[in-house]
Every structure is written in structure tokens, then in C-alpha cells.
Structure 1
């Protein structure tokens, strides 16, 4: 016997064997249902339709689809609600055609029961897309049932996610048209707080919370930020559930500290890490040399965020980094990630916008961008060479920059409010060429650069490829000073120091570096490049020539523990009449334990 919605309503499994085999009485909800009154009324109205009274609930996993149906059942005593067990059906049926026959027989059973009992029967089918996956023939058997559901006294409430609907159901137009879609949005902040309060009350720990909803709100906020791949209220309930477990076991008070502990165990996120507002600029300057104006501009915006005074209706930061290649734009972006996310470079979402130069790439860009943001929640989004993107792609970014939201493939709104968006551009390069020639700033203070700010902005606006409407959506334009020779040498010295440390730590090898190495990189390589005040070519040579030579020698001579990196041949740095450098890097063993550098 299968028990239906009340103890007095029993289904005879012998008379209706398919109902007995593949269905079970839908259980009542556990606890109080909060904030789904509108959706419940929408479901009840659809069930009351005289003809097509089938419903498809669309929502991410954990949004409360099953709970909504349970709540609807409690407000709908005149109907009997049963849940179809697709897993059992799939496990007990082999061939697709056989499954189609079982589906048809199940609905024949259901219709016969509804007619015999003079009641309306509601069949709830969770993971409805599995029917399409398992048996196209079963879908065809289902269509006539759906087409006349109202007249036959048999109602179908199906549930699935947006992604599964797009992939499996929407392409089958006749099937899709027989289902009335009801979209469930994740619980709002206020709904989640009320749900958490109710959960705590049912668990007998509400007295452990202060009268305000502060901690409940914090649970909502941190789970939204650090568990973006799940939805509310599931993820907030999961953290509160863990907190209650620890409280019962150890007596720990329900507090921010306990919430942080449970979150760290669940996700690895350390909430104790926080930005020190007093040291923001100093942290940015650690690896970004001689760009005082750029780091000041970015630091000022971060000060607003740390103080909670930024515009909460837009992304936390919206920057346009402009300047010659190799002056530190990417390095500043990496330092921003380091500062915000404790050196978790996975939080850097990077796009080369030249890959989205065609209007036809808009959907791909939307899909990749929204998926990455949904999976992370908060991140630094770097869009390199924004002027190379198509106009259609740029329109998407205008929406993101303007209101911090963008629809994904399935029409859901993805929030960018916890993101920092960094655009880079080469537009206005002629101004930086001028600055490099006539206004070199050996200190990197940016004082001379400030005089060119209007020229830089005008040059960007007038560039053929740059969309001027983007400028109005930005917090700041961040110009990068062309690098002086002294600054380039500092950057190269840091790179060589890092190489020396790596060699010692990984191989136990002491590496001496001859002073000619920096001169070779700065002049023989650097001055031969087209960079206007940048160090990119020099750094590329450090990676592609210097490090390669060191690696080759270590691999071939693992027993040599004291090495010297030097330059062989005549350098332009020593003879400017040379049209082309004849020098090359070389590594040799230093037998006399005398190291340079």
C-alpha cells in the first residue's frame, strides 16, 4: 500500500502496481516555509487550469524546488501528491523502449486511480530531464499525457535546473510547450535571514543568538561571497548546521569565530585574512616600481572599499590601465589579487580581448565570463586590450560596469558587485611616446604625468578602436609612467635576485651574476625593442635567454654547486657603434668560490 497525502488516503498497490512500484507519497515539509507565497500561488493557479495544467519548476539545485511542492501540497488538500522515483525506474528498466512502456503504464495507472477515486492526482517528477536522457521514446509516450492533463485529472509537476532545461528540454519544443515554467530565484537576504532564524529556533539554539539578526546576516553574506557555486538558502543553512553541530559537541558559542571555523573547514577560506587599510599603497608598491600615480589611484579606490563607502550598486573597482607595454600594468593587477585574496591567483579571471573581436563571439564571452564569476563570486577580472573586442562584446561590458549584473546563458542574473574589473588599453600610445621622449620621470612620482592626464584621456577618446562610452562607466583612468633607465634596472635586478633565490632553494646551487648581465638586458635587449619606456623585452630575454642558460647548465652539471652567470662577446652597452649586439649569456662553474653579485 502507498500512503498518499493523508493517512486516510491509501493507494492499493495491487490494483495500481505501477504507482506502487515507482511512486511514493510526497512527504510534508520539515519546518516552516518562508518567502515562497507568490510561487506557491503561481503553482496552484497552474494546477487549476482546465487544459494544460503541467508545471516545470526551474531553479538551481538547493533553491527549494521540492520544498515548494511540499508547501503547495499542504495548501491543497483536495489533491493527492505522489513523487515519482526516476532512479528506481532507471535502475529497474533496461531498454529505452521498455522504459517508454513503463512510463505509459505508470500514467495509465495514475489516470485510472484518479478516475476511480474522483480526485485529481499530482505527480512530482524531480530531475525531469533524466527522462529525456534515458529514453526519447518515453518522452514521446509522455507528450499525450501532458497534452490532456487537465481533462484527465492528472497533473504533472516537473523540476530541473536552468542548465538541464536548456540542454535537454528546451530543444524539444512540443515537450517544452506542454509545461508551464515557474522560475524560482534564490532566496533573498531577508528571506535567508528569516529561514536561518527559523532553523535555529527548530534546533533549539535561537537563544544563543543576540536579538539582532547580525550573525544570520553575516552567514548569508559570507556564503554568498565564498560559496558562489551553491545557492541560498542551501549554503547558508549548511554553515549554520555545522555551527550548531560544533556548539552541541563543544559548547562553543554561536559567534563570528565559530562561523569562520566552519567556513574554513568547508571551503578552505580563511576569514581572518583582512586588508590592512593603512598599508594598501605600500603593498601595491612592493612589486610595481616607479608608478606612484597609478598605485595611488588604485589605493584610493580600495580605501573606499575597506571603509565600506564605495558604490554598492556597481563593481567594487572599475579601472582602465593605460600606458606603454612592459611598464607594470599586469604586475599591478597581480598585486591587486595578492592584496585582496592572499596571493590566490586563481581569483584572477583574465581575457585576451583580441580573441573576442567578432560579433559572433559575444555569446561565448558571456558564457565564459558568467561561468567563471559564478564559480568564484568575487575576483579580479582583467580584460587585456579592451579596444580589440567587438562592439557587441563591449555592450555586455557596459552593462557589467554600469549596474554590476549580466544574464548568463539561461537568463539568470549573475552579480559582479564583489568583483574588481580592470581594463587595459594601448590606445593613446602616442602620448606616452611623447612623455617618454620629453618628460621622463626618474623618480616615478607621477608629477610630470599629471600634466598629461587630459591629453591621455583625449587621445583615448579619439582612438578609432576605443569605445568612448566606456570611459563614463569607470571609476578612474590609471596612467602608467614610462620607465626610466634606473627603474628598468631595478626591475631586472629583482628578476635576477629571484632567479638566484630559486636556484639556491631548489638545487642548493649558489649563483653569482656578473654586472654585465644587467647592462646586456637593459641596453642590448631593451634599447633594441619597440617599447616606449617599458621593460617587457628585457624581462622576456631574462626568461627566454638567461634562465634557459642557467637551467641547461644545472641539468647537465648537477654536481657543480657554485656557478657564475656572465656575458660573452662585445655588447652595445660598451660600444654603441655596434649595429647589433654580439653578446650572449653564458654559465660556468666558479671553481675558486669567488662570486660576483
Structure 2
């Protein structure tokens, strides 16, 4: 039974078919101690998936094979039992129980068998049906009397849910906690097993690349554990390097040499068969092939030189696993951060102070000086509507994380009621939607490198602020299913319109409405409006939350000159969209002035300007395109007649 449903790990170790186990001496010694006990000699390895529980058992098997164990364990054999194979094919009542009993009886009779069951929590319920026992209850008597040795492996969550609930079963095991190895031990583990991957892929893996792989995996892959996640990255990166090499000169060289051997054989066979016409054809093809091979040899191509694993290969492997752009993973982040202000300035007009403070805080967060548990940066953007608060968050996502899809926008108006707040982290057990995950936690878990935007935070229920406190201080939020979601690779941005009404309250600043021009709102009242905004903020938000933010930025209202710059940017974007249809666009100066005047409103920022362009210019163009008045290869010339825009079609061919 044991040989039918199990694999002898000790025998595999004797033949050198198990990987070397490094850095797990403490756990192996602990397991050996438990196995040497008189009673309850059943260790169960508990740790997160990927930390190396199975590898520890393989390390035990290797030590037994080498007789490097206490005397009581010399000559023992570790058999890994596959529970799914035991259950498979049990058609009639009693089949499963018979198989389990057969395995137990064989282990008792042999006395030198140690059974190993991975995912041991599956024992509870395995093979059970109405009126029958599951595997755990069948094993209990033999475990209680110490008649068999059993090693188990499970995650902490599964062990708690399945084994610990059954007190009679749990007390028969001795837990061995397997922690995630440190960076240094992970590097040692990888150096110990890299030869297997070099041989399999035909690549060279330098020691320095292993250290880089550990640091990259730790930084970019947050939902898995070392050493498993690093081994995965090395494996995939090696495959990428090998595939790339096969497509390059060396791969082509190998293919040509194989083809040459095949043609030579066919040529000889044709000559022997006196089929000289076919032999001549093969000879001609051989001559062309020899020329190609010779040119590659002259270029220095060598089939015996193995490709060397590089940082670019690691970056590509991590990018495929996480969705983070390759440029973000591979080294260029420092260049991006050093020029962050310049990139943000191009996209956001009139908010130099906010851009400078935000860029400074982000650089501080990414330099490694700040607390690594907290988010990269946390900001509150205040000010009137339409001045670029949300747009700045979108541009930060694009510049820092490689794309606007890295923006997670949470509209706080949806979470104004207490019963809606739980949707952020997911419904608790027993409630509808428990399996769906939280809107916030699930988004961050899937996209750990992102900008998290809490839009219009003043509309949120006070319970949301409690969550924010935890995110900003510890960088962690626990969802409804008990999973810890890390925010240490996110940038958290809150936006608010608090105090923006006071900015335009003439009486508050001693102006009458006819005395004050549009630009006076911006040039004279910024400090007063900033004070009003901060005063409103302190009334609505708790001081402990305010103090945890890296920066609070009150955005300026937009001046006429800044609105003109924004207009030019919007028109450039429109020209690019029209260029995709091979249509050009020209605007008279009067049209520009007309649209800017129509869209300039300090109270509402750039939104009225966009609306003016959409209602007047884009509507005119779209009607002409749909009516086929303007065709690809033509230019739309826009002029002003009275208060209406007029379209004139010009041909590009002159």
C-alpha cells in the first residue's frame, strides 16, 4: 500500500535526485528531536506557502540517507503519501478506509517507515461520507499509541481551521514553525541550487544576479514568500534568456549546423542510390548553408557560449508576474524620480508649490530613508474644483508607476453611510458578498504598485478615517477574510474641496463684487483662502490623521495666463486625436481668445474651459466628420463669425 500510494524520499536522496537544503538546520534539528520522542513523535511543519516546508522534509530524508541522524532514526524511510491518489477510485463504502488501514498496518509492521503527508489539513474530511470515518479519525488510534511516525505540513490558516479545531487530533502533533528565510539565507539557498537551473536552461547565473533577484522579488512581489518567489523569478528569467538566445545568432547557428548534417546525410543517400539529380540539388543547398554558417562564424557567433542571466531578464520576468512595466523594475526609476518635477510641471499648470512638495516627499519615500512599512507618500490636495487635484494624481500614477491604469480611484461619496464602509475591505463572514473581497483591499492586493486616490474625502463616513489611520501609520489593512494587504508600495492621495467656497466669499475679505476682477481672486486671496481651507480641515478631520500626512497642499485657483496654457495643451491633444484620422486643424487667434474667455472661470478651474471646447469646437468638428464634409487628408480651418465658430475645409495638396 505504501509503495502504491507513496514516494520513497530517502531513496530519491540516495540517488541525488533531491535539491540541496540550505539554511534550515534549526527546523530540521527540531523535526529530528520530535521524531526521536517516545510518544507523540509526529512533527507538523507550519508556515506560509513557499517558505520551504517540503524542502525541510527532503532535508530530513537526505540526512537519513547519509546516516547523519540519531541512532533511533538510522535506517528509517520517509514515504510521501499522496492523499488524492488514496481517495481516487474509491467507488464503494469501505474502499477508502481499507486503503488507509492498509497504509497504517504496513507502517506499524515495518517499524522503519515515516509517513509524510503534505497539506495535512486535508486529512479532516478526506474520504468521509455519511456513516463513515474520515482519514483523521482512522489515524487517531495509531497516533495516540505512538505506533506510527507521521510528518505533516500545512499553512497556519489551514492548520487553525482544520487541525486545531479537533483537539484530540491536534494534541498528537508537535508544531514546528517554519518562518520565511532572511535575505542572506535565501541568497545561500539560491546559490546552492542554481546549478540545477543552469543545467536545465543552458544559461549562466552569476552570484550577483541572485542577490539582485532576491532584492527585486522582495520589493515587487508581495503576495508570496521567499525562497519560492525568488526561485520562480530565476526560473522564468532563465527561460526568457534562453529563448532570446535561441532567436539570436547562436540559436540560428545551432539550427544551421543541424540542418547541414541532415542535408549531408540526404546528399550521401541520394548519391548511393544513383539519384544524381537530387544529389546535385542537395549539394547546391549545402553550399548556400555553408555560406550562412561561415558568415556567422566570422561575426564571432559561438554555439558553445551560454547566455548569461541579466537584470533585464529579471525585470522582464517580474514584469510578467506583476504587471509592473519593465522600465519601472529595471533601474530607470532613479532617473524618473530625479526629473519628476519637470514631468509633472508639463502636465499640471499653475501648481508649482504642490508639485515640488509632492516630488520631494516621493523621492524621500523611495530613497529607503523613510519607514519601509508606510506608504511611499501620503498627501491631501485641497482647493477649488477643476484646478488639477485629480489630474495630478493621474499624472503621478503615469510617471511613477508607468501608466494611468495604476490609479485606484475610490469615490468617497459612495461611502458616506456606515453600512457602506465595509465594502472597502469586504463583508465579514456570514454576510452577503463575503467572497467578493473589498473594493479597496482587493484592488491594492492585485495592483500593489499604484496611486490610491480617495476623492472628496470630506464626504466619507468617520469610520473611513479609522482605516486611513491604519494605512498611513502601519501600511497594512486587514480585509474581511483576514488577509493582510500591504500599502507600503502605494502613494495615498486624499482630495477635498473644503474651504473652497470661502475663496470666493467677497465679504469675508472686504471686497465688493464690482471691485474685484477674476485675476484678483487668484493673486490677492490665496493666503486667506489657504487659511480658510486649513481652518475647515481642522474642523472636519481628526488631528492624528492630519499629522500622519506627508504634505497638505492647497491648490491655487487658475489665472488667465495659466488657463491659456491649459487651452493650448487641450488643443494639442485634440490635434493628436484628429491626426489619427489624418485630419489637420488650424485655429484663428480670435477663436482661441473667444474659447478662453468663454471657459475662464476661477471658481470652477479648467472644467468650464473643457466644456467650452467640447460644446463649440469638438461638436462642430464631429458633425462635419460624420456628415463626411471633412475627409482624411484635409485640414479644418476654424474662424469666428460673431459668436459662432465657422468651419472651412482646406486640402493638404497644393
Structure 1 stretch 444-453 or stretch 303-312: which is displaced more? 444-453
* Residue 345 of structure 1: aligned partner: 404
Q: Which residue of 2 aligns with 1:356?
A: 415
Pair 1:25-2:8 in alignment: yes
Counterparts in 2 of 1:215-234, with a 5 A limit? 216-234=210-228
SS state at 2:80 partner: strand
C-alpha deviation, 1:447, in angstroms: 9.7
Is 2:311 the partner of 1:328? no
**Count of residue correspondences:** 545
Asked if the contact 2:599–2:609 (Cα under 8 Å) also holds between the matched residues in 1, the reply is yes
Q: Is the 8 A contact 1:49 1:150 kept in 2?
A: no
For 1:31-42, list aligned pairs within 5 A: 31-35=20-24, 37-38=26-27, 41=30
What is the distance in 2 between the residues matched to 1:447 and 1:194? 64
CA root-mean-square deviation: 4.8
Residue-by-residue CA offset, 1:157-191 (whole Å, 9 max, x unaligned): 5556678x49xx94899569845787655433233
Residue 508 of structure 1: aligned partner: 582
2:98 equivalent in structure 1: 105
CA shift in 2, pair 1:434/1:493, >3 Å: farther
2:264 aligned partner: none
Give yes or no for contact 2:401–2:449 (8 Å, CA) kept in 1: no
Whether 2:391 is the aligned partner of 1:398: answer: no
Deviation of 1:336 (Å): 1.3
Considering only CA atoms, is the larger Rg found in Structure 1 or Structure 2?
2
Q: Pick from 78, 90, 100 the counterpart of residue 81 of structure 1.
A: 78
Task: Determine the C-alpha separation between the residues in 1 that align with 2:305 and 2:320.
Answer: 16
CA contact (8 A) 1:446 1:481 kept: no
| Cα distance change of structure 1 residues 120 and 101 upon mapping to structure 2, 3 Å threshold | same
Q: Alignment partner of 1:477: what SS?
A: strand
Q: 1:418 aligns with which of 489, 509, 524?
A: 489
Partner of 1:461: 538
CA shift, 1:284, in A, is 0.7
Residues 43, 55 of structure 1: 8 Å contact kept: no
Is 2:326 the counterpart of 1:269?
yes
In the other structure, the counterpart of 2:181 is 187
Q: Structure 1 residues 289, 98: CA separation in 2 closer, same or farther (over 3 Å shift)?
A: same
Q: Distance in 1 between matches of 2:131 and 2:22?
A: 34
Question: Residues 463-493 of structure 1: CA distance to partner in whole angstroms, max 9, x if unpaired?
Answer: 2xx3432111111112211112332343233
**Match of residue 536 from structure 1:** 607
Match of residue 453, structure 2, among 374, 382, 395: 382
Distance 2:164 2:571 in 1: 63
Asked if the contact 1:53/1:156 (under 8 Å) is kept, the reply is yes
Distance 1:413 1:338, change over 3 A: same
Change (3 A) 1:83 1:42: closer
Measure, in 2, the Cα distance between the counterparts of 1:450 and 1:250: 67
Segments of structure 1 that go 5 or more residues without pairing to the other structure are 1-15, 572-582
Match of 2:346 among 286, 290, 293: 286
CA distance in 1, matches of 2:424, 2:32: 35
Tell me how far apart the structure 2 counterparts of residues 476 and 161 of structure 1 sit (CA, whole Å): 41
After superposition, the Cα gap between the structure-2 partners of 1:515 and 1:241, relative to the gap in structure 1 and judged at 3 Å, is same
In structure 2, do the counterparts of structure 1 residues 159 and 417 end up closer, same or farther at CA, with 3 Å as the change threshold? Answer: same
The answer (yes or no) to whether the contact 1:243–1:254 under 8 Å persists in 2 is yes
Q: Could you tell me which of 71, 81, 96 is aligned with 2:59?
A: 71
Q: Distance in 2 between matches of 1:175 and 1:307?
A: 49
Does the CA contact (< 8 Å) of 1:359 and 1:392 recur in 2?
yes
The Cα shift of 1:257 comes to: 6.0
**Larger deviation: 395-404 or 237-246?**
237-246
Q: What are the ranges of 5 or more consecutive residues in structure 2 without an aligned counterpart?
A: 64-68, 243-302, 426-437
TM-score, structure 2 length as denominator? 0.68
Does the CA contact (< 8 Å) of 2:381 and 2:553 recur in 1? Answer: yes
